[in-house]
Amino acid sequence: MRPGRLGVGVIGAGRVGAVLGAALRAVGHSVVGVSAISEQSRDRAAALLPGVPLLEPAEIVERCELVVLAVPDDDLVPLVRGLAELDHWQTGQIVLHTSGRHGIAALAPAAARGAVCLAVHPVLAFTGMSLDLARLTGAMVAVTAPAAFLPIAQALVVEMGAEPVVLSEEDFPVVGGILARVREDVDRSTRQALRRLAEADVEDPARMAGPLVRAVLENALAAGPERPATGLAPPDSPIE
């Protein structure tokens, strides 16, 4: 490894964890182990992190200098607390979580044992496949950490090809919640439209709706938050 490279462990080989592990590995860090419970997660780990052994979370914490916690939002706090109760966290160890719901307060039990705690939330809709590595390049990533540790979070994000955006501890979960709502609303409305087109016997719903959906999103993003709607006719209006 090049100087400054870290031994990385990934707890949670979901769509986010496996991709971030692969991104860190691509820039020279060594992925020491990955924790994966479901068969789907194990398959994803094998595809994105070939050759990396499957380990228990406690083993990963004991062996790694950088621990990436990419578990569901509801599991994060109990996991960190449980590992602290078993006295696994180490002084100087970097602990990074990817949840948009929590700031660094979720990592308090690790911080109390001297760990360097970072909250790093990529603003992406992950598929858990290799194409996410290309999407990560240039993507925005929300970060928060104690002031002394912010450069570490920013450096890790930049290494993965993304762009860090520093948020306060208070704003981090607020922004994360807004972005989660955007993702859910766009996904739900698009899928609903595709189902209705299919029910109307449209042969290729995605091909028909795709240009419209992409144009509406691009127009809304270009217009910005202060401008009114772009003049699209409402759904029940005749097409001019």
Question: Is residue 86 domain-shared with residue 189, that is, in the same domain?
Answer: no
CATH number of the domain enclosing 122? 3.40.50.720
Element (H, E) at 215: helix 205-223
Is pLDDT at 39 greater than 70 in this prediction? yes
Confidence of residue 228 (pLDDT cuts 50, 70, 90): low
Span 7-28, average pLDDT: 96
Domain-embedded: residue 234 = no
Distance CA 70, CA 18 (A): 9
Residue 240 confidence (pLDDT): 32
Question: Is residue 82 domain-shared with residue 188, that is, in the same domain?
Answer: no
- For residues 57 and 11, the answer to whether their CB atoms sit within 8 Å is yes
Question: Is residue 76 domain-shared with residue 182, that is, in the same domain?
Answer: no
Domain-embedded: residue 231 = no
**Helices vs. strands in the chain: H and E counts, helices first:** 9, 7
Is pLDDT at 237 greater than 60 in this prediction? no
Confidence of residue 226 (pLDDT cuts 50, 70, 90): confident
Domain-embedded: residue 232 = no
Span 176-189, average pLDDT: 93
Tell me the pairing of strands 94-97 and 116-122. parallel
pLDDT in tens, 64-75: 999 999 999 999
Question: Is residue 112 domain-shared with residue 212, that is, in the same domain?
Answer: no
| Two structure tokens written together for 57 | 């979370």
Q: Among residues 77, 85, 86, 160, which one has the least CA distance to residue 117? A: 77
Question: Is residue 155 domain-shared with residue 180, that is, in the same domain?
Answer: no
Span 204-210, average pLDDT: 95
What's the predicted TM-score (pTM) here? 0.88
pLDDT in tens, 104-152: 999 999 999 999 999 999 999 999 999 999 999 999 999 999 999 999 9
Question: Is residue 86 domain-shared with residue 182, that is, in the same domain?
Answer: no
Residue 2 confidence (pLDDT): 54
| Two structure tokens written together for 208 | 């028909």
Question: Is residue 179 domain-shared with residue 164, that is, in the same domain?
Answer: no
Question: Is residue 108 domain-shared with residue 187, that is, in the same domain?
Answer: no
Question: Is residue 108 domain-shared with residue 207, that is, in the same domain?
Answer: no
Residue with structure tokens 């290494």?
159
Domain-embedded: residue 230 = no
Domain-embedded: residue 62 = yes
Question: Is residue 92 domain-shared with residue 201, that is, in the same domain?
Answer: no
Distance CA 2, CA 142 (A): 27
Question: Is residue 91 domain-shared with residue 196, that is, in the same domain?
Answer: no
Domain-embedded: residue 137 = yes
Domain-embedded: residue 156 = yes
In the chain, how many domains are there? 2
Question: Is residue 31 domain-shared with residue 66, that is, in the same domain?
Answer: yes
- Average pLDDT of the chain, as a whole number: 92
Per-residue CA distances from 81 to 48, 105, 121, 166 (Å) = 29, 12, 20, 26
Give the domain extent around 100: 7-168
